[in-house]
Chain A
Amino acid sequence: MLKIEHLTKKYGAKVAVDDLSLEIKPGEIYGFIGHNGAGKTTTIRCACGLLDFDEGEITINGRSIREDPLACKMDFAYIPDNPVLFDFLSGIDYLNFIGDVYKVEKSVREERIRRYSDTFEITSNLAQPISSYSHGMKQKLAIVAAMLHEPKLFVLDEPFVGLDPIAAFQFKSMMRELCDKGGAVFFSTHVLDVAEKLCDKIAIIKNGKLIKAGTMDEVKGDVSLEETFLELEREKDA
């Protein structure tokens, strides 16, 4: 579904991502963890076509993000860590805009807006301008917008920040459901407990380099993910 091969991204002399390779297959919830400034967001932004990269290749369903960005973007939904949406639109105007961009037909759009807005309990706020939303409400609206065209791949940067427990639970359920139907989710997070319970596979990045990747059992073994992560961080420092 999403294949990152030998990705290298530099900001001047600083190497933000160094020869990183990952593959997210259909049916997988793939977690991506690392310390602040490790290169998680840079990797995700490169994967979504927001950042050009220096070396490597990124393909989504076999199509290169560089050569065919439009077709790739139709296949996935991206939710950043701090969803800066179009603040000047109301919630419903924003959803309709997204629906038009992704060519979601009228017949299904209304039903999906109703269903997902009710699930995340933002229906009553849809007439309000997004500028009046709290962070959590913006996050929910971004999730509803992402679900509108029912993509097969979700790329998320810290998706649970600002979500209340109910919304977080519902979103996790949706992620699981999507993957059970053959979709995939690639997300970064600092919340290791969530990653441990939710993810099928995990990748740990430090200072731009991938230090461990694989299934949850392969990566953490018998200890907790938190202990594994801390141990790996200490090993590399040593």
Chain B
Amino acid sequence: MLRQLTLINIKGLIGRKASNGKKKFRMPTWLVVVLIGVLLVASFFTMFYEFAKSFYSAAMGWMYFSILGTMTFGFMLMTNIAMAEGQLFESKYNDMLLSMPIKSHHILLSRLIAMLMYDYFIQATMLIPALAAWIMASGKIGAFFVNTLVVSIFWPLLTLAIGAIVGFGLYRVFARSTHKNLLKIIMTFGMIGLYYYFTFKMEMAMAEGGDLAPIGNALGKLKFTEWYGKGIMHTNVKYMLLIIGIAVASIALVFVIVNRFYIKAITINGVVVAKRTYKEKPVRERSVMAALWSRELKRFGAYFTYLINNLMGIIMVLAFAVFMIIKGGSLFKELVDLTQGERELVTGLVAGGGMAAGCFMCCTFGVSGSSISLEGPCLDHLKSLPIRTRDIINSKLLFHYSLMAPAILILSVVFCVVCRFDWKLAACCILLPQAFLIFSDMLGMLVGLFYPKLNWTNEAEVVKRSMAVMVQMFGSMAVLGIGIAAYFLFAAEHIQMDTYYMISTAALFVLAAILYYVIMHFGARKYEKLGG
């Protein structure tokens, strides 16, 4: 029974469902997992290789492994805290499982094992590039390799233990709060902020002449990670046994504590939900479009994964704008000095860089790509209402645009002011990213209409893993990449930068218009056939 429960939980985490019989291309699960793993490994390798070179040359290998331990600990802990509520306590299958002759500790244990498998996957995405980077930097495979593998078997038990207890606490707090998503956002951004602060400090320390002593001091204060680093690098058996012992004892203790209260915890959810008091307010009549837009906004705020995935892009754009306000002027001046006064060239390149950054953030914004799919369970209800298909589609397109456009506009205006663009470059800097945003919006909607994923149970399946969102992201990036490459490969010698930007802006508007035509004619018909 435990084995079956564990397998079900792991399948639930991966989010795979049985085929509905329709003949469609379906990527095998193992391939999806491998692809995601490869992407993550590749992205971590560059960072770890820079660290490895610095720490190897300073003969401070234990610090390198301490950093690895800290990072894997941090990522796994963040994931466990985020998952614990839904995975351990809030499952919709609780009542069904408890009504069957299944021991409650088997339910808990199977869920913890599923989370542990997930932790091993996350750990591996950092462990593999970290080990490869150290082997490349040091030129040899030593005892550290085996030591890392041994410790990494037990390291996730500690994060799982802490994550489970913290997750339980948060579950009780969130249940009593009417601002659950707001609290989750604050927590998420707090954790992300810590991560970026940590890696920024690391990179600054290594950039400033390689003085790694402060890093060593900081790591020394975190005993656990110091033991991790020294245990692995120096084959310090005492430290390794301490880590293993504490990790095993922690998870065992947490299991005993949580199991003691588990049945009560997973069956009182409905009782402790926070209640809002209804007060009659004057009704405001709205147009159908305004009502639809407002509905989109409510959904945006209600689905946490949908919210955080897309809000991140908006905040990154605004953070970049703030950075430009603070540092932009001085950086621009340094660039001009570096190029020995080639102000016009620098201005053109900086404008291009700013526009590219804005466009890149548009690529990561997947609201329209997921919008049709998110209707999934209530699509029939929406279609039963007297609302024109074009109004539904337009409201979704407008919603996507209206969320991101102000942030992109702010970034563009900041660039124009800080770098003192002339009117032509300023117009391009403002219009090109807007055109790109509209194009990306259309692309996501078009793919979402033709390849919707309507049978989801968790919005993460749509927001993170649906074809429409993937095509919107990578398709937009491809167009951005082609635009940049085309300039440097073909156009740079023939036309001026600002002329190229104007042509690109016009081309993007035309492309968006074509996509809009296709959406309104063919996409609308596709929508009307959905759900049948």
Query: Is B154 located at the chain interface by the 8 A CB criterion?
Result: no
Chain A residues, Cβ within 8 Å of B528: 52
Query: Does A127 contact B278, Cβ atoms closer than 8 Å?
Result: yes
Query: Is A121 located at the chain interface by the 8 A CB criterion?
Result: no
Query: Is B142 located at the chain interface by the 8 A CB criterion?
Result: no
Chain A residues, Cβ within 8 Å of B529: 52
Query: Is B295 located at the chain interface by the 8 A CB criterion?
Result: yes
Chain B residues, Cβ within 8 Å of A69: 386
Number of interface residues of A (CB under 8 A): 46
Query: Does A129 contact B302, Cβ atoms closer than 8 Å?
Result: yes
B283, B299, B302, B386: the one within 8 Å of A110 (CB):
B283
Cα–Cα distance between A101 and B531 once the two chains are bound (Å): 21
Number of interface residues of B (CB under 8 A): 38
Query: Is B20 located at the chain interface by the 8 A CB criterion?
Result: no
Query: Is B465 located at the chain interface by the 8 A CB criterion?
Result: no
Chain A residues, Cβ within 8 Å of B303: 88
Shortest beta-carbon distance, A156 to chain B, in Å? 12
Across the interface, name the chain B residue whose C-beta is closest to A98: B385
Query: Does B280 contact A84, Cβ atoms closer than 8 Å?
Result: no
A78, A87, A100, A128: the one within 8 Å of B378 (CB):
A87
Known contacts A100-B288, A105-B285; decide if A88 and B298 are in contact (CB<8 Å).
yes
Query: Does B287 contact A100, Cβ atoms closer than 8 Å?
Result: yes
Query: Is A90 located at the chain interface by the 8 A CB criterion?
Result: yes
Query: Does A88 contact B302, Cβ atoms closer than 8 Å?
Result: yes
Cα–Cα distance between A87 and B381 once the two chains are bound (Å): 12
> What 1/0 mask marks residues of chain A from 36 to 77 whose CB sits below 8 Å from any chain B CB?
000000000100111110000000000000000111011000
B278, B283, B302, B380: the one within 8 Å of A125 (CB):
B278
Stretch at the interface among B269-277, B435-443, B506-514: B269-277
Chain B residues, Cβ within 8 Å of A91: 278
> What 1/0 mask marks residues of chain A from 76 to 113 whose CB sits below 8 Å from any chain B CB?
00101001111111111100111111100110011001
Known contacts A70-B386, A88-B299; decide if A128 and B285 are in contact (CB<8 Å).
no
Query: Does B288 contact A70, Cβ atoms closer than 8 Å?
Result: no
Query: Is B532 located at the chain interface by the 8 A CB criterion?
Result: yes
Shortest beta-carbon distance, B184 to chain A, in Å? 15
* Chain A to chain B contacts (Cβ below 8 Å), 30 pairs: A50-B383, A70-B386, A73-B384, A80-B381, A80-B384, A84-B377, A85-B378, A87-B377, A87-B378, A88-B298, A88-B301, A92-B278, A93-B298, A97-B291, A97-B294, A100-B285, A100-B286, A100-B288, A100-B291, A101-B288, A101-B291, A101-B387, A105-B285, A106-B283, A109-B285, A110-B280, A127-B278, A129-B302, A131-B302, A132-B273
Report the 8 A-B pairs with minimum CB-CB distance, sorted nearest first.
A88-B302, A100-B291, A73-B386, A127-B278, A127-B276, A126-B278, A88-B299, A74-B386
